């Protein structure tokens, strides 16, 4: 796996240094990635085009605020296709679904719109391709995560889940010369490479994926938090507990030297005790987090004397994905 290349590394001051020594470092990039932006816009456009209710299988993205906001507009979130009335409009979430889910939606004659992130679809294609070539596919990822279920469902007879380095001992394959690893898109880069190393010690012929499966957004957010963390007494990651990439940011911050790191959905969840004796607070957010929630944290800190806000920039992101075909006429500007 290649490390993402920083386009720009630097600290930008947006306010003068504070006499109190209190400051905020804002990681850049943070928040919405291209896949989340597309998925949320897909649901909004589907609401505009077809009217409420629109059904979405699972959370469209793993963020409480996004899900609650869409639910208020008439989106009904379901766990499975059999909860959707026949003929209704159903959106598949950014995390992707297995062929079995597509089949069950078709059997109920649902009008489906697929908001799967194209970078997840890429991993599905890899799984299908290597299963066709009869490889054993070792899928590094978290048990029970929707993305992993969708990818594994492309080739259930060929895919084995490897949930971290400690799971390697129990992995067995049919032919050690025909083994490839793939991964969930939102893992810790460093931990994944530890898992790969353990796998390679066991299966020296292990093949690498044709290209990085951990997506650009996950990697970029981890690089930014790593650059910022050594200077931070506290890192606040805005994100939901079921957001894999957000949880990873907390781990990466701690691993990179932050003295404390916490995950919050909203500023109101910040415990003022976390700020005792703290001079530098780093802020970042997961790929499914709207910027308004980050600004809520900035304001919370400003009200407590953290007026000096500086950006720590390690990459500039410009990627945009086209909307699903059914909705392409009307992209928001």
Options 44, 147, 149, 154, the catalytic residue: 147
Q: Is the dihedral of CA 272, 274, 278, 283 positive or negative?
A: negative
Binder of ligand SF4 out of 98, 151, 185, 219 (CB under 6 A): 185
**Residue 288 is assigned to a ligand binding site:** yes
> Exposed, middle or buried: residue 286 (CB in 10 Å: 0-12, 13-18, 19+)?
buried
Binder of ligand SF4 out of 75, 84, 117, 252 (CB under 6 A): 117
What is the contact mask toward ligand SF4 in residues 130 to 169, using x (rule: CB under 6 A)?
A: ----------------------------------------
Q: Does 89 bind ligand SF4 (CB under 6 A)?
A: no
Distance (Å, whole) CA 171 – CA 272: 45
Binder of ligand SF4 out of 34, 256, 289, 327 (CB under 6 A): 34
Q: Does 93 bind ligand SF4 (CB under 6 A)?
A: no
How distant, in Å, are the alpha carbons of 269, 276, 278, 304 from that of 273? Answer: 12, 5, 10, 12
Binder of ligand SF4 out of 42, 81, 98, 218 (CB under 6 A): 218
Q: Which is nearer to ligand SF4, 215 or 275 (CB)?
A: 215
Q: Which is nearer to ligand SF4, 240 or 310 (CB)?
A: 240
The question of whether 147 is a catalytic residue gets the answer yes
Q: What is the CA radius of gyration of the chain?
A: 21
Q: Does 247 bind ligand SF4 (CB under 6 A)?
A: no
Q: Does 237 bind ligand SF4 (CB under 6 A)?
A: no
Binder of ligand SF4 out of 46, 56, 67, 119 (CB under 6 A): 119
**Residue 245 is assigned to a ligand binding site:** yes
Q: Which is nearer to ligand SF4, 212 or 308 (CB)?
A: 212
Q: Does 60 bind ligand SF4 (CB under 6 A)?
A: no
Q: Does 35 bind ligand SF4 (CB under 6 A)?
A: yes
Q: Which stretch binds ligand SF4 (CB under 6 A): 27-35, 107-115, 158-166, 251-259?
A: 27-35
> Could you give the residue numbers annotated as active site?
147
Q: Which residues are annotated as a binding site for isopentenyl diphosphate?
A: 62, 95, 145, 243-245, 288
Binding residues: 33, 62, 95, 117, 145, 185, 215, 243-245, 288
Residues at the site binding ligand SF4, with contacts judged by CB under 6 A: 33-36, 94, 117, 119-120, 185-186, 215, 217-218, 245, 287
Residues making up the binding site for dimethylallyl diphosphate: 62, 95, 145, 243-245, 288
């Amino acid at each position: 796996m290649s490390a993402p290349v920083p386009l720009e590394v630097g600290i930008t001051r947006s306010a003068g240094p504070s006499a109190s020594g209190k400051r905020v470092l804002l990681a850049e990039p943070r928040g919405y990635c291209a896949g989340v932006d597309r998925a949320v816009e897909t649901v909004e456009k589907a609401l505009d085009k077809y009217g409420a209710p629109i059904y979405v299988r699972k959370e469209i993205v793993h963020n409480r605020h996004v899900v609650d906001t869409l639910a208020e507009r008439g989106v009904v979130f379901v766990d499975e296709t059999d909860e959707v009335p026949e003929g209704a409009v159903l959106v598949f979430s950014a995390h992707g679904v297995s062929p079995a889910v597509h089949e069950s939606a078709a059997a109920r004659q649902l009008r489906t719109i697929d908001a799967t992130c194209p970078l997840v679809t890429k991993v599905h294609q890899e799984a299908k391709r290597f299963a066709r070539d009869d490889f054993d596919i070792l899928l590094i990822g978290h048990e029970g995560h929707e993305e992993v279920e969708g990818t594994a469902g492309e080739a259930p007879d060929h895919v084995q889940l490897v949930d971290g380095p400690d799971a390697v001992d129990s992995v067995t394959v049919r032919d050690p010369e025909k083994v490839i690893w793939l991964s969930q898109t939102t893992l810790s880069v460093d931990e994944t490479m530890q898992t790969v190393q353990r796998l390679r010690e066991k299966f020296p012929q292990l093949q690498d994926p044709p290209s990085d499966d951990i997506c650009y957004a996950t990697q970029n957010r981890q690089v930014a938090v790593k650059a910022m963390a050594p200077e931070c007494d506290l890192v606040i990651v805005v994100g939901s507990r079921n957001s894999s990439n957000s949880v990873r940011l907390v781990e990466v911050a701690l691993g990179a030297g932050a003295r404390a790191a916490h995950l919050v959905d909203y500023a109101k969840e910040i415990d003022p005790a976390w700020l005792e004796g703290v001079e530098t607070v780093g802020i970042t957010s997961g790929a499914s987090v709207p910027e308004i929630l980050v600004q809520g944290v900035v304001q919370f800190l400003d009200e407590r004397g953290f007026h000096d806000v500086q950006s720590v920039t390690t990459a500039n992101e410009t990627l945009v994905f086209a909307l699903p075909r059914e909705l392409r006429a009307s992209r928001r500007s």
